[in-house]
Chains A and B, each alone.
Chain A
Amino acid sequence: MSVDVSDRAFDPGAVLSAFSQRVDGSGAIVTFTGITRDVSEGDLQAMEIEHYPGMTEKALGDIRAQAMDRFRLIDAVIIHRYGRLSPGETIMMVATAAPHRRDAFEAADFLMDYLKSRAPFWKREITARGADWVAAKDEDEDALNRW
């Protein structure tokens, strides 16, 4: 399971344990976990994530392959949820394993930058005032120029 797109909740600790066993002998593992936070006025009721079935899996697979190509990695996993999430729920996770920490850190950072603006997900915040699509930020697009 290198790329997983699902509407089900997952346990980041269990993912890390399974990943650690799979990459037994690697010198460094880095994980990043994204959690639904209240990005507006403190009254977020839920976050709805829409995606493009088919393209999502393909895009995540491509992004992972680019990271494997670019950094000295042993393995990498990407997990991303869609559907309705409550504040505090885990949205997504990446884990990278490498012989050395710098590759693991940089690859995780690279994966996150590409996930933000190249994976077909769209977030919508549900508050007492209604539902609003989250706008993409220019800085997310600019972040890709770092690589």
Chain B
Amino acid sequence: MDIRYFAWLRERIGTGHETVETRAETVADLIEDLKALSDAHAFAFSDTNAIRAAVDQELVPFDASIAGAKEVAFFPPMTGG
């Protein structure tokens, strides 16, 4: 599964893109898997209130299913406009 990171999440993890093997069923499960990858991941995901997720480019809550998803992205709350 393709994982994308943006803004300070990308900086803390040290990459904007990685591919992971996961059996996670939801976004929340996937976050637990990602936190186990490295100290940088654990630090980046330490405050999940400050993080938003998109599954296949659609903003979703953390209990959303990732079954069949190609791409999951994590980022801080957006600051457009």
Interface residues of A (CB under 8 A from B): 34, 50, 52, 54-55, 58-59, 80, 91-92, 112, 115-124, 133-136, 141
Q: Mark B21-44, 1 if CB is under 8 A from A, else 0.
A: 000000000000000000000000
B54 touches A120 (CB 8 A): yes
Given contacts A50-B6, A52-B73, A55-B54, contact A112 B81 (CB under 8 A): yes
A136 touches B77 (CB 8 A): yes
Cβ 8 A contact of A52, one of B8, B75, B79: B75
A121 touches B78 (CB 8 A): yes
Given contacts A50-B6, A55-B73, contact A118 B78 (CB under 8 A): yes
Interface residues of B (CB under 8 A from A): 4, 6-8, 54, 57-59, 73, 75-81
Give every chain A residue within 8 A of B80 (Cβ-Cβ): 80, 92, 115-121
B59 to chain A, nearest CB (A): 7
A–B complex contacts, Cβ < 8 Å, 8 sampled: A116-B78, A116-B80, A117-B80, A118-B59, A120-B54, A122-B79, A123-B79, A133-B79
B71 to chain A, nearest CB (A): 9
A50 touches B7 (CB 8 A): yes
In Å, the complex CA distance between A85 and B10 comes to 21
A133 touches B77 (CB 8 A): no
Q: Which among B4, B54, B57, B73 has the greatest number of chain A C-beta atoms within 10 A?
A: B57
A117 touches B78 (CB 8 A): yes
In Å, the complex CA distance between A115 and B54 comes to 16
A136 touches B7 (CB 8 A): no
